[in-house]
Amino acid sequence: MAIPENIEQLANDVRTKVYGREVREALASGIEAAGETAEDARIKSEDTEIRQTVLEKQFDDEIANMTLADPSSAEIVAARTNANTGESYDTIGRRLDAEHANVTTQLAEKASQKDLDFLEAQFNTKVSDIETRIPLNFRKVRFIGHRGYSGISPENSLIAFEMTGTNRGAFWGCETDIRQTSDGRFVCMHDDTIDRTTTGTGSVANLTFSQIRQHKIDLQAILTRANQVVPTLEEYLEVMTQIDVVPIIEIKAALNWQNFVNIIRNYGFEDKCIVISGSQAYLQSVRDLSKKIKMMYLCNAVTDTEIQIAKAIGNCGINTSTVSKEVVQLVHGNGLEIGMWTLDDITIIENAIKYGVDYITTNNGAGRFINKFKRITLTKSDTSNSLAVSQQYSSEYVTMSWDEWRNAVYVKFEYPFTGFPGEIGTSAFLSVNRSTKDLGYTFATATESFMGLYLTVYKNGSIINPLTSLTDLIWISMLVFKY
């Protein structure tokens, strides 16, 4: 067997050395033997590789072209058929090629769908993030005072109606409930009796107007104003005229329909009010006498039935106690407006606005939502030596606490501002009346957040705590805004 040239040269070099001939001869013979073995292994490896290539080609040919002895045998026919689709191919190779292409397409589609799902998730996340950063358009929704401004005044009283037009109230509309007395007068009363809200007892329908007026409005849970009696529909409409607030009139029982419509007309509200009721028959009775009066059908939940009722009445929306985004879209899709009652929780109100409702009825003031600036008016309390919030002139309630470290009053907002990048905090313009200045009072404010501000009160140059040691009748108004 031939020895590679490099191995043979190495053996000859070993033999020609002068010293240790026997050792060199043995070493040279070993090198030659190792070379022969290595060469033999190389040749065998090449031969094996050639044989493997030939066998693989033969196998590929047989698979691709079915060069087997009986290409029509049941086993081969089955191998050429896709068990899932039933489609048959000329050769197994073509079937495998087709299935490979199909799998590749499916994988590509799945990959594309995965990308789309990922992008959609990213998009939804961005939208959600943006929605949380955009201030709600509180001015788009119309706020309605429930039975007047009943959160701070006796319900369905003249003072409650008047308060809807204050800065704190800031209502677009004022709702009241109408019932008819035994002698045909219309009075503002929610219940069918006067028991809960007045000092008297008896059914509205069985009492004369003069009998009802003998009793005072008396709600222990709400600050009761002296000489407040049950108002008439006419007195209610007179207040709405004075404060420029839209009357929202709920019909609680059957009325003399012609007289009812005549009163609304006489006060100029036929096309400037909304009549509401949970009775289709009551609304239809009013509709038969006036096409101009706008109406809303009251219901606890909205289905196609309620939508069809509102459509049948005409110029009529829906007012409901429960709502979702889908319900709002359904009502709007039918060309109707939708309102909600009675919402006081801020989170629920915010959700209703996000859903797109048109009206929100609430017991609490709307000024905290819709006023662009916060107006906080503080005066001396009638009952203690402390500052107190003026209900009539303030756009919202605040809470006040003394900060020992700052020697100032911390005024915390009822409804905090929403902050965005670049906005630092709040600032305030102060105004006081002349008598407050003459008494030696001066004021300073400092703000650090959207939650509230610090008010420092000085008398004759010295800081005082106005929550405990205010003896003078002072008046201070703050107009607060973001910067």
Q: Which two tokens stand for residue 309?
A: 């009722």
d(CA 398, CA 232): 34
Rounded Cα gap, residues 29 and 182, in angstroms: 139
Q: Which amino acid, one-letter code, is at 53?
A: T
Residue 169: name the closest of 390, 465, 340 by CA. Answer: 390
The Cα 211–Cα 449 span in angstroms is 55
Give the pLDDT score at 8. Answer: 63
Note the pLDDT of residue 18. 43
Cα–Cα distance measured from residue 394 to residue 392, given in angstroms and rounded to the nearest whole number: 6
> With contact defined as beta carbons under 8 Å apart, do 400 and 187 qualify?
no
Burial 140-149 (b: 16+ CB within 10 A, else e): ebbbbbbbbb
Give phi and psi for 13, each to the nearest 5: -65, -40
Q: pTM for this structure? A: 0.62
Q: Residue-wise pLDDT tens for the chain (483 aa)?
A: 555 566 566 556 655 554 455 545 555 566 565 566 656 666 666 666 666 666 556 555 555 554 444 555 565 666 667 767 777 777 766 766 676 667 666 665 655 566 556 655 655 554 455 444 445 666 679 999 999 999 888 999 999 999 998 877 889 999 999 999 999 999 999 999 999 999 999 999 999 999 999 999 987 656 555 679 999 999 999 999 999 999 999 999 999 999 999 999 999 999 999 999 999 999 999 999 999 999 999 999 999 999 999 999 999 999 999 999 999 999 999 999 999 999 988 789 888 998 999 999 999 888 777 666 788 999 999 899 999 998 778 888 889 999 999 999 999 988 777 665 566 677 888 889 899 999 999 999 987 678 889 999 999 999 999 999 999 999 999 888 876
Contact call for residues 466 and 409 (beta carbons, < 8 A) = yes
